[in-house]
Amino acid sequence: MLERLNFIKQRFDEVSDLIIQPDIISDQKRYVELNKEYKDLRAIMDERENYIKQTQRIEEAKEIIADGSDPEMTEMAKMQLEEAESIIPGLEEKIRFMLVPKDPEDSKNAVMEIRAGTGGDEASIFAGDIYRMYMKYCESKGWKTSTIDYSEGTSGGFKEIQVEVTGEDVYGTLRFEAGVHRVQRVPQTETQGRVHTSAATVMVFPEAEEFDVEINPKEVRIDFFCSSGPGGQSVNTTYSAVRLTHIPTGLVAQCQDQKSQHKNKEKAFKVLRSRLYDMELAKKQEADAAKRGSMVTSGDRSAKIRTYNYPQGRVTDHRINLTLYDLSNIIDGDIQRIIDELQLVSNTEKLAEGGDAI
């Protein structure tokens, strides 16, 4: 373990030196990449220092016990040895997971899209509930959210809504939420108390930088229109809303959240870049998942991943067979435990794939 950590320290020292070089600072793409690497390596270096400290405590305690000339010191050394030896296994496990190669997309910001699926008005209401759940979760993480585009449901909630989320390791955390979310409950519109099943689809795209995807302006059709509000009414009479159509792929991105046409256009291009980037990423994830036999990241965006059962107060994640009877807190944004479990399974799969290399 220590040999591997010392090898990583060499890379850390190298990166520390590189990020202050003028030619690296002037190359935006390279500078961003190295900064992300530096942050990841810094966290491993902190654990390396702790690991060295604990191994030194073990060696020191063994020397005192071997000497045995001072009974009181020997007793204290035995306690120190026992404590340090109990810390080492957990520390090694933590470091092993930290050494799992990270996907380069994990540290990116994300665009989250929530769409009402089957179930009519109730599906739109549920899409609104899911949206609020994620907004509360993002707030608890200290992430910033900004609405890009939305279409409200006729009885509340949303037919669809797109949100930009910015912060630390946003995509790496939220990517596990992509898929079909199903709800089982008595809808507000149900008069006979029957439980209905509705669904909402969540899509999460890594936000692509300009240097990740190059878009030829000649291949994009730009349409301007008036922003619309609740019930389809026009919010303003200026053509500030922007719709972009990428002609080669047919992908569409639009934004009507800002009053400025220029800002809406900028946001729409950001979404279009992210969609194009995600198209390629989805192919890669599907190939990787097939190779690894992954339960968590299959690349299939239509897979049913989670059920929220209101009569039983139950939430079940079908990918890892995790069931929690804590629906009220989960729908209120407390989803960290589910995400932790999914990340653990994903990292374990990667560890198994890496074998003894890690």
Please tell me the predicted confidence (pLDDT) of residue 231. 45
Provide the 8-state DSSP code for 228: B
Please tell me the predicted confidence (pLDDT) of residue 296. 58
Flag whether 184 is in a domain.
Answer: yes
Q: What are phi and psi of 116, to 5 degrees?
A: -65, 135
Residue type, 13: D
CA 64 to CA 75: how far, in whole Å? 9
* Residue 16, helix vs strand vs coil: helix
Residue found by looking up tokens 């993002």 in the block: 138
Please tell me the predicted confidence (pLDDT) of residue 119. 80
Same domain, 9 and 156: no
The domain boundary, picked from 99, 118, 153, lies at: 99
Looking at the DSSP bridge assignments, the partners of residue 22 are none
CA 276 to CA 279: how far, in whole Å? 5
Looking at the DSSP bridge assignments, the partners of residue 241 are 225
Structural domain count of the chain: 3
Flag whether 239 is in a domain.
Answer: yes
Please tell me the predicted confidence (pLDDT) of residue 291. 54
Q: Which residues of the chain are modeled with pLDDT < 70?
A: 210-211, 227-238, 258, 284-285, 287-302, 353-358
> Whole domain around residue 43: which residue ranges?
1-99
Flag whether 214 is in a domain.
Answer: no
User: How much is the CA Rg of the chain, to the nearest whole Å?
Assistant: 25
Token couple for 268: 């729409």
Contact 96, 348 (CB under 8 A): no
Q: What is the CATH number of the domain that holds 58?
A: 1.20.58
108-131 in b/e burial notation, b at 16+ Cβ within 10 A?
A: bbbbbbbbbbebebbbbbbbbbbb
Beta-carbon count within 10 A of 284 CB: 12
The domain boundary, picked from 99, 126, 141, lies at: 99
Please tell me the predicted confidence (pLDDT) of residue 48. 92
Flag whether 218 is in a domain.
Answer: no
Looking at the DSSP bridge assignments, the partners of residue 150 are 161
> Which has the closest alpha carbon to 303: 313, 287, 318?
318
Please tell me the predicted confidence (pLDDT) of residue 230. 47
Contact 153, 122 (CB under 8 A): no
CA 95 to CA 332: how far, in whole Å? 32
Same domain, 44 and 150: no
CA 59 to CA 56: how far, in whole Å? 5
Q: What is the CATH number of the domain that holds 256?
A: 3.30.160.20
Flag whether 215 is in a domain.
Answer: no
Predicted confidence (pLDDT) per residue in 336-351, tens digit: 999 999 988 888 887 7
* DSSP assignment string, 103-144: PTTTTS-EEEEEEE-SSHHHHHHHHHHHHHHHHHHHHHHT-E
Which pTM does this prediction carry?
Answer: 0.70
Contact 176, 153 (CB under 8 A): no
Same domain, 7 and 93: yes
Same domain, 6 and 73: yes
Same domain, 119 and 37: no
Same domain, 261 and 344: no
CA 232 to CA 152: how far, in whole Å? 9
Flag whether 79 is in a domain.
Answer: yes
Same domain, 170 and 48: no
Flag whether 261 is in a domain.
Answer: yes
Please tell me the predicted confidence (pLDDT) of residue 110. 92
Same domain, 61 and 115: no
Same domain, 317 and 243: no
CA 29 to CA 49: how far, in whole Å? 31
CA 310 to CA 338: how far, in whole Å? 18
The domain boundary, picked from 44, 72, 99, lies at: 99
Flag whether 234 is in a domain.
Answer: yes
Same domain, 38 and 75: yes
Predicted confidence (pLDDT) per residue in 174-201, tens digit: 999 999 999 999 987 777 788 999 999 9
CA 305 to CA 284: how far, in whole Å? 20
Same domain, 197 and 314: yes
Same domain, 303 and 195: yes
* Residue 292, helix vs strand vs coil: helix
